[in-house]
Amino acid sequence: MPYKGEVASKHGHSEILSNPDVKNFLNSCIDVPKPSIEELNAHFRSAKQLDGYDILLPDLILAMDGSSYESPVDGRYPSRMIGYLKISTVLLDMAKYENVKRSTTRFIDPIHVAKLQKETGAISLALPGAFVQDPNCGSVKESYRCAVQNYLRSPETELGGRTLYNTLVQLVRYLGRVSLVDSVECIAFKTCVNKVCSEETPKNPIFVGVDSGVGSCSLCGEKVYACDVLRTHEAFVESGSNIEAYNRLMTAIEHLLNAHYLYYLWKENPDYLSRMCILMDGPLAIFGQSAHLHRAIMLLLDDIRKDLFRRGLHEPVIMGVTKTGRVCEHFSQIDYLVPRNTVFPISDEYRYKFIEPTKLGSEKNFGDETYYGQDIFVKTNKGRQFNLCLSYPFASKRIDKFRDEKVNLKNYAQLRRALSVIQTLESELYENSMIPVVLAHRHASISLKPGGKVLDVLSRGAFSS
């Protein structure tokens, strides 16, 4: 290692270049597998040749994005910690957006743009972290679980008289975990949230009343909350950083909020829902401890799809857009091989061969425990690339030949509408970006400076008062 301020030699690489062992090593390395033109042509489809609906742009685009931040209260170890989550929603009226685009000059009226950005909303919450205990709870971890439950049941999350807690219970119903016990509707838990008790009695069932939302283990007396079905508390630690638990919870709430809007509109105004596109930042997938909820969302979407079809209505466009990751990196590297105005449904065979070769030969469906949508690579007329994740048109992944059917574009009736959203709203502000996602992220993000610093001051002030 050089000393501070010492400059490296300009000839330090010469011995490496002349070393025969280095040359032999480089020459012996196996070439990276890359697709041939023939393999790519077998997958790519021209967007103009897709079967299905005529291009019909949704009237309304609802975009969602979230952000998290962990704030130290005391400044030095051991420091109490507070977690903050913010999830922003942006509703974009396409008629208003088109009026902005139809300006008679090459400039866009900033007043119209400001009006578009006002159609936003956000939900935010503060959560206990390390060393922060509610006096009514028996531990720091229980304080976290109780805070999550109280938030889900709070009036802040109400939509048509239903809270996020009600929607969570509905998803749990889809999973078959709600039943009547002594005439009381209950959520069933196979094990206790107390790890020690759970390990000793792995088959001890616990029933939590839906109305009360709280139960207890008959052996250890530990409280069990209905929101424990999210399982994000499993990543929570009582004396360290909990940014992982906060991020897992943020992701779970984002997708729960997606289901919340869908269920409400389905019941209250199905015609309005049929004219919508719900756009999420990231794939249609739930990772970590809450991943099992993706199966319930698939069942909900299938019920909505079938009901709207019976009414003669379009199904809504439900999609996510992923900005980073292996798929994005892969197609960025082969951009010169990819024609414009094409779509590419990413099969497991292609993914395991060229994107994740460590899984080559695997018979398991990609995202079997996490995804409720299919990755479809899109390259627009302008040459921009998007990794689109479009909701599966199936109730379950247990159908015959699922691996083949999930990449059959004829199954995705909403694909052309999704492509019209991308091509209409692609933005030049950032690389391969979309206007609704940019707006949602802008309203959801918590910057380290000054936003994070302000939350630090707020946290310290709250505990010192």
| Range 364-375 average pLDDT | 95
Distance CA(391)–CA(318), nearest Å, equals 6
Q: Which residues contact 282 (CB under 8 A, 6 or more apart)?
A: 251, 320, 321, 322
Paired sense of beta strands 317-322 and 276-281, if any: parallel
Question: Which of 6-15, 210-219, 259-268, 385-394 has the least mean pLDDT?
Answer: 6-15
| Range 426-438 average pLDDT | 58
Residue-wise pLDDT tens digits, 111-126: 555 555 555 677 888 9
| E strands in 190-310 | 206-209, 214-216, 223-225, 276-281
Residue-wise pLDDT tens digits, 297-314: 999 999 999 999 999 999
- Is-contact 321 387, C-beta < 8 A? yes
Confidence label for 65 from pLDDT (cuts 50, 70 and 90):
confident
- pLDDT over 90 for what percent of the chain? 47
Residue-wise pLDDT tens digits, 402-416: 999 999 999 998 998
Q: Between 431 and 234, whose confidence is greater?
A: 234
Instruction: Report pLDDT for 345.
Output: 93
- Is-contact 261 164, C-beta < 8 A? no
Confidence label for 151 from pLDDT (cuts 50, 70 and 90):
very high
Residue-wise pLDDT tens digits, 247-276: 999 999 999 999 999 999 999 999 999 999
Kindly tell me if the per-residue pLDDT of 368 is higher than 90: yes
Most confident segment among 41-45, 105-109, 181-185, 433-437: 181-185
DSSP string covering 2-71: PPTTPPPPTTTTHHHHH-HHHHHHHHHSPPPP---HHHHHHH-EEGGG--SSPP---SEEEEEEEEEEEE
Confidence label for 53 from pLDDT (cuts 50, 70 and 90):
very low
Confidence label for 429 from pLDDT (cuts 50, 70 and 90):
very low
Single-letter residue type at 73: V
| Range 331-341 average pLDDT | 87
Confidence label for 20 from pLDDT (cuts 50, 70 and 90):
confident
Question: Which of 76-80, 199-203, 372-376 has the least mean pLDDT?
Answer: 199-203
Kindly tell me if the per-residue pLDDT of 375 is higher than 80: yes
Single-letter residue type at 396: S
Average pLDDT, the chain: 83
Confidence label for 450 from pLDDT (cuts 50, 70 and 90):
very low
DSSP code of 229? G
| Range 198-206 average pLDDT | 65
Residue-wise pLDDT tens digits, 343-356: 999 999 999 998 98
> What does each C-alpha distance from 231 to 191, 246, 422, 442 come to in angstroms?
12, 12, 34, 29
Q: Which residues contact 44 (CB under 8 A, 6 or more apart)?
A: 338, 339, 342, 343, 344
Instruction: Report pLDDT for 384.
Output: 86
